[in-house]
Structure 1
Amino acid sequence: MSEILPAVFGVNSLLVGTIIPFLFVLTVVVFVHEMGHYLVGRWCGIGVQAFSIGFGPELFGFNDRHGTRWKLSAIPLGGYVKFVGDMNVTSAPDSTETANLTDEERKVAFHTQPIWKRALTVFAGPAFNFLLTIAVFTVMFSVYGRFVAEPMVAEVRPDSPAARAGILPGDRFVRVGGTRVETFADVQRLVSGRTGDAIEFVMLRDGKEVTVNATPEVMEQKDALGNNVKVGVIGVVNNEQVGQPRVISYSPPGALLEAVYETGNIIARTGQFFQRFVVGREDKCQLGGPVKIADMAGKAAKLGFEWLVQLVALLSVGIGFLNLLPIPPLDGGHLLFYGVEAVIRRPVSERVMEAFYRLGMLLVLGFMGFVFWNDLFGC
């Protein structure tokens, strides 16, 4: 027994070291997403039948004074808010159920609401994910500040893209791909996701601007959690002498502005990744599912709670972005239908919606199967 307990409940055990951090990360992200739908839906006067963390059989729950069932379900890989009049947890309309609603229920049913209320309620889920990330970064920047280094070149690796382009030690990056840079991290951010793309670099050399072109090449590196990642590099090195590394401190308003900027950068990089992934220009192993997230959560937890919170922020952006893709039954698919409805001034027919929902569900299930395969066998 003395050997079994540490194996099950020890800090490095599967339960405490991986499963609990994973459930913490996923539950926070899902709860915030669904709370966005719930709060804005209630603000718009829409009735809510159920708020669930997880899918499948209910483990436990309670009813509030508004008649909403709050529950924790058995499969902790998501969640949902079920509004009055919904056919199912994807908020698809059900004409039979709608016809059987009482007059009072019809007033608060989701699908009897104006388009703007429905669209705002659906958009609120991803929006709250982005707000969660902004909130986390605001606190992190306020407490810890931000480590930065000047965008200087201390060394150029032989036969690298930078060497072939004519970049020299002592050069200072001014613009990368048309974007002005202030720190060496800005350069890394703009280069890392563009393997194989020719990029224009404006360098400051001896007081004059020099323009060169270089194409980042892929390099495998380890990230802060020890995962192998493939990033684009041009082969320049920064060091303490020329980079003058330092920590910038922020006031709360300054931290908020920096957090908004950083969140926007992450959203842009996520979009760029998926664009390149669709055309086969990104490594499929960079995408993972629950197993990879659990592994990352365990590694982050070992480094400290602040690392786990940062993982929550990054995952929250990813969940928000994916949910805005225009694919039913994702939030973006609903918004697409509302856009069409606004143009044609009538709801999309149930037959068309059902066909798109089935196709979208196949795409979503296919993507889930793909990341599961990556987790278990593919990478």
Structure 2
Amino acid sequence: MLETPPIWFIAIAFFAAIGPLVFIHEFGHYIVGRWFGIGADTFSIGFGKEVAGWTDKRGTRWKVGWLPLGGYVRFTGDMNPASMGQNLDQLSPELRARSFHAKPVWQRALVVFAGPAANFLLAILIFAAFIAANGAPRTPAVVAVVLPGSPAASAGLIKGDRVVGIDGKEISRFDDLADYSRLRPGEEVTLKVERAGQLFTAATRLSEVIEKDRFGQTYRIGRLGIGTGERVFETVPVLQLIPEATRITWSTIENTAVGLWQIITGRRPLQELGGPIKMAQVAGQVASIGWFEFIQLIAFFSINLGFINLLPVPMLDGGHLALYAVEATRRRPLGDQAQEWLFRGGFAALITLMLVATINDLGSVGLWQTLGRLLG
């Protein structure tokens, strides 16, 4: 078992991961805004009091805040970092021409979507580089070993069977089967299996396994109970690198959505929801293993940052996109008071979510157990 890195190392690894991701996210907003002629008053990495910064020739203040847990671009016409707009009639003609809120709704939507899109694009490029260097995972979902007493054994699987589908989803790679099973501990699944050229289906219940990583942390996962032969990685033509990397990115987005939905619906405990402290812990641990693993983790962090920002919650990019969809349907935006209440509700929801995640994080690092021993 590996030792958890010291706090200073964890902090450096976390900021080395999250800082560039926040910059790339906000730069996505910024660069598309510039294409549409929108002015940017502030580009901030972090919140709170400015630690360092400069003003460019376009009048944009680039700065770093003392709390580096996010960032924002304040476009011309924004009243605050949440991008609530000023009354356009109060702006001069020059400022109105450069105002974010004076632009057509489709342009505003593209500017907002560009942030998450930049995070997804970064992940695609990282995965593409890894595939170019190591090949794409192509291990077939062919059974080489069936563990005795496993869900696969109860389903009647034998050596040589090929799993071609699970719960109606087509399977071609063992990794796809493993990922699907891992997210569904204790759940009933229906397998589609090919044996000697014949297809049949079999139902079974995935086992629930507590897996321990190299740092002693435990995770509840689902397992089918089969083993395959040697892992297969195939060289991918240059023109196929981006499509293959996009497939991996999309699969990760799907798995993230499934995990979140399971928490919302109660199929997974709320205690599995992690926040910044957990992310920092994971970043430090993975960075202590090696650069290859750390850069791969950055890709997964980038996907999660993009996905979370697309949730339809006011204050997040997805909330803005939802409001723009309403505006496009109604041919006019919601009233200022309605938007203000929505943003207040979204802010309250985010604070509540962060509070729950922080409580979980503190528990995962052993704070509550330590306090219990001290007070017991």
TM-score, normalised with respect to structure 1: 0.91
* Aligned match for 2:206, one of 216, 240, 243: 216
1:334 alignment counterpart: 320
Q: Indicate how the Cα distance of structure 1 residues 222 and 378 shifts in structure 2: closer, same or farther if over 3 A, else same.
A: closer
Given the alignment of the two structures, is residue 156 of structure 1 paired with residue 183 of structure 2, yes or no?
A: no
Given the alignment of the two structures, is residue 37 of structure 1 paired with residue 23 of structure 2, yes or no?
A: no
Cα shift at 1:213 = 1.1
Given the alignment of the two structures, is residue 114 of structure 1 paired with residue 100 of structure 2, yes or no?
A: no
2:14 alignment counterpart: 22
* Aligned match for 2:276, one of 290, 300, 324: 290
2:353 alignment counterpart: 367
Mapped partners of 2:50, 2:201: distance in 1: 62
User: Does structure 1 retain, via aligned residues, the 8 Å contact 2:77–2:85?
Assistant: yes
Per-residue Cα deviation, 1:213-248 (whole angstroms, up to 9, x for no partner) = 12223212235776422221122222xxxx243321
Per-residue Cα deviation, 1:284-327 (whole angstroms, up to 9, x for no partner) = 34321111111111111112112111111101111111111111
Given the alignment of the two structures, is residue 133 of structure 1 paired with residue 119 of structure 2, yes or no?
A: no
Mapped partners of 2:5, 2:257: distance in 1: 35
Cα shift at 1:148 = 4.0
> Partner letter of residue 357 of structure 1?
F
Mapped partners of 1:283, 1:298: distance in 2: 25
Match of 2:191, SS?
Answer: strand
Unpaired segments of 5 or more residues in structure 1?
A: 1-10
Cα shift at 1:45 = 0.9
User: Does structure 1 retain, via aligned residues, the 8 Å contact 2:131–2:241?
Assistant: yes
Cα shift at 1:147 = 4.3
Given the alignment of the two structures, is residue 322 of structure 1 paired with residue 312 of structure 2, yes or no?
A: no
> Partner letter of residue 357 of structure 2?
V
Aligned ranges for residues 185-204 of structure 1 at < 5 Å?
185-204=175-194
Cα shift at 1:282 = 1.4
Mapped partners of 1:235, 1:276: distance in 2: 22
Cα shift at 1:196 = 4.1
TM-score, normalised with respect to structure 2: 0.91
User: Does structure 1 retain, via aligned residues, the 8 Å contact 2:141–2:163?
Assistant: yes
Per-residue Cα deviation, 1:163-201 (whole angstroms, up to 9, x for no partner) = 222222332212222233222212112222233443221
1:349 alignment counterpart: 335
> Partner letter of residue 66 of structure 1?
R
Mapped partners of 2:46, 2:132: distance in 1: 33
Decide which moves more: 130-139 or 162-171.
162-171
2:248 alignment counterpart: 262
Q: Indicate how the Cα distance of structure 1 residues 121 and 224 shifts in structure 2: closer, same or farther if over 3 A, else same.
A: farther
Given the alignment of the two structures, is residue 172 of structure 1 paired with residue 154 of structure 2, yes or no?
A: no
Given the alignment of the two structures, is residue 234 of structure 1 paired with residue 216 of structure 2, yes or no?
A: no
* Aligned match for 1:307, one of 262, 276, 293: 293
Mapped partners of 2:310, 2:287: distance in 1: 29
User: Does structure 2 retain, via aligned residues, the 8 Å contact 1:133–1:263?
Assistant: yes
Mapped partners of 2:265, 2:313: distance in 1: 18
The alignment-based identity, stated in percent, is 39
> Partner letter of residue 137 of structure 1?
F
Mapped partners of 2:269, 2:159: distance in 1: 31
1:69 alignment counterpart: 61
Unpaired segments of 5 or more residues in structure 2?
A: 366-376
Mapped partners of 2:10, 2:151: distance in 1: 40
Match of 1:123, SS?
Answer: helix
> Partner letter of residue 131 of structure 1?
L
> Partner letter of residue 203 of structure 2?
N
Match of 1:326, SS?
Answer: coil
Match of 1:54, SS?
Answer: strand
Match of 2:21, SS?
Answer: helix
1:49 alignment counterpart: 41
2:134 alignment counterpart: 144
How many pairs were matched up?
362
Q: Indicate how the Cα distance of structure 1 residues 253 and 176 shifts in structure 2: closer, same or farther if over 3 A, else same.
A: same
1:124 alignment counterpart: 114
Mapped partners of 1:223, 1:113: distance in 2: 50
Superposition CA RMSD, Å: 1.9
